[in-house]
Amino acid sequence: MATYIDDVDDWDDFANGILVDPNNEYELTNDIGDSTNPVTTMYSGIFTGRFDGRNNKITVAITSNATNVGLFSQVQGGVIQNLIIDGQVTGGIYSQNVGGFVGQVGGGQFHNCTNLAEVTGNSPTSSVGGIIGKTVEIAEIFECTNNGTITGGRYVAGIAGSNNIGFIFFCRNAGTIKSNYGTQCMAGIVGFAGLGHTNIHGAVNIGKILSSNSIYAGGIVARLENSNIIESFNSGIVEGAIDSVGGIVGIIRQYGVAVNNINTNWINGIAPNSGAIVGYNDINGMVYNCYFDEQMSVLTVGIGNNPAAPSTMVEGRPTSGMIGPPATGGLPFANPNTPPQLYPILDGNPNPHPIALLAAAPIYLQNNEKVDDVITPFYVSNWDSILPFLPPPPSPIPYEYQWTSLSNGTIISVPLRPLNNATINGSGQDVLEVQFFTVSNGYKKNVPITVL
């Protein structure tokens, strides 16, 4: 039997070591904290137990100058699952590791964790992530999502600022990634992945990476060393970088591997090493079976600087050339047993992976709004309302789609072509039905997409 945490006072007792379960197991019984009475106490010890949020939310206002800052300062061998965090988590000038959930992880498991909070690190050498600031021992991060704005110093990303070793499976970033210093690495999922070995599988980034002052930037990882990125997808705009920028990886060093990945959005190729998939690929790096939508990414080069050319296979295609399954001209790793999709299903499981849905209609909110706090009508778009000063794709995209229905909100206007907006009045997490019209066969399908 776990010990229950019912309110902010219970959390304070738990965080201060007063409320102690003999089995080191804790459960959240309901949402705790709000904008007027947030949780302000960080669990400042090393958490080694199990914390189950039971899909409830903790609203926080945590500010600390400690080395490790988050709802939990450190986790070592512990488990955190089924938890939502909202509010603000802010590290001071001496805070090296700042995460929405945990500052530093020395081993542990994270499953179904969602960050809605603004997470900020104010040290120029900090590792800042929506879920975890930094991992130093094996961490298993499964099905975690960041929707909050993440701002930091050296390593900044939606899931983990830096991840030395472990597994990151089926995680997603929809938040904006920003820098308040000259940042080394900025990315949607992990800023720096390496030293030990990090396996990233099925990651999705649809967030904006505002990385023009970063050295390395990537849609999934900025710098990849001794680690893998497999079957992952970026449809977020990557603003650029000083040295290396890529739709999937900014720079690959020391036996990094990227396979079966897709980029479908604009990458600002102002860096010396700029690629729609990888900016710079070290001589020992391996990149193969990766594709980019050349009509959306604008860049025509898959890998900007590629000493490891013999071990690579990267291809740009028009949107029509990425419609799977393979029998109809789609990508070779699409699922041949499904009707035509606008983009392929990367996962081999029977159910469509979210990547296939998000690729078809990436969704953003204007003005850095989150659905959870929108009270006026907002816009969704896959191009021109976000950064209207960008050049349009070089040729028309050969399909049409329309927003058709919402579970809870109300659609006010319904355009029939891509690169336009649908005005939606609603709040909270919702499901949007999108109907697709492919030019070749008029195939129609309603696809549920969660608006973040």
- When pLDDT is cut at 50, 70 and 90, the band that residue 83 belongs to is very high
User: Across the strands, what pairs with 308?
Assistant: none
Same domain, 356 and 403: no
Q: Other CB atoms closer than 10 Å to residue 25's CB: what's the count?
A: 14
| 448 burial type by CB count under 10 A (0-12 exposed, 13-18 middle, 19+ buried) | exposed
User: Across the strands, what pairs with 451?
Assistant: 430
Same domain, 320 and 387: no
| Token couple for 335 | 């699922």
User: Minimal CA–CA distance to 210: which of 239, 233, 189, 245?
Assistant: 239
More confident: 376 or 88: 88
Q: Which of 174-188, 241-255, 277-291, 427-441 has the lowest mean pLDDT?
A: 427-441
User: Across the strands, what pairs with 150?
Assistant: 119, 177
Q: Which of 17-31, 297-311, 392-406 has the lowest mean pLDDT?
A: 392-406
pLDDT at 407 over 70: no
Tell me the C-alpha distance between 129 and 104, whole Å: 10
- Range picked from 127-136, 296-305, 370-379 for highest mean pLDDT: 127-136
Q: Is the dihedral of CA 308, 310, 314, 315 positive or negative?
A: positive
Over residues 369-397, mean pLDDT: 38
Same domain, 253 and 393: no
Same domain, 347 and 403: no
- When pLDDT is cut at 50, 70 and 90, the band that residue 425 belongs to is low
Last residue of a domain, one of 360, 381, 416: 360
Q: Which of 215-224, 245-254, 265-274, 434-443 has the lowest mean pLDDT?
A: 434-443
Cα 75 to chain center, whole Å?
A: 22
Tell me the C-alpha distance between 81 and 47, whole Å: 13
Same domain, 437 and 417: yes
Question: CATH number, domain at 48?
Answer: 2.160.20.110
Query: What integer pLDDT is reported at residue 321 of this predicted model?
Result: 62
Query: What integer pLDDT is reported at residue 6 of this predicted model?
Result: 97
Last residue of a domain, one of 311, 338, 360: 360
Same domain, 351 and 371: no
Last residue of a domain, one of 360, 392, 418: 360
Same domain, 344 and 221: yes
Same domain, 314 and 374: no
Same domain, 338 and 412: no
Tell me the C-alpha distance between 180 and 299, whole Å: 28
Same domain, 258 and 346: yes
Decide: pTM greater than 0.85.
Answer: no
Please, what is the average pLDDT of the chain? Answer: 77
| 406 burial type by CB count under 10 A (0-12 exposed, 13-18 middle, 19+ buried) | middle
Same domain, 356 and 380: no
Same domain, 355 and 432: no
pLDDT at 320 over 80: no
Tell me the C-alpha distance between 446 and 435, whole Å: 5
Q: Other CB atoms closer than 10 Å to residue 23's CB: what's the count?
A: 10
Check residue 26 and give left, alpha or beta (phi > 0: left; psi -120 to 50: alpha).
beta
The count of domains in the chain is 2
Q: Which domain holds residue 404?
A: 366-451
Over residues 118-143, mean pLDDT: 95
Summarised one tens digit per residue, pLDDT across range 91-124 is 999 999 999 999 999 999 999 999 999 999 999 9
Query: What integer pLDDT is reported at residue 421 of this predicted model?
Result: 41
Query: What integer pLDDT is reported at residue 362 of this predicted model?
Result: 39
Q: Which of 20-29, 161-170, 359-368 has the lowest mean pLDDT?
A: 359-368
Summarised one tens digit per residue, pLDDT across range 350-378 is 333 333 333 333 344 444 444 444 444 44
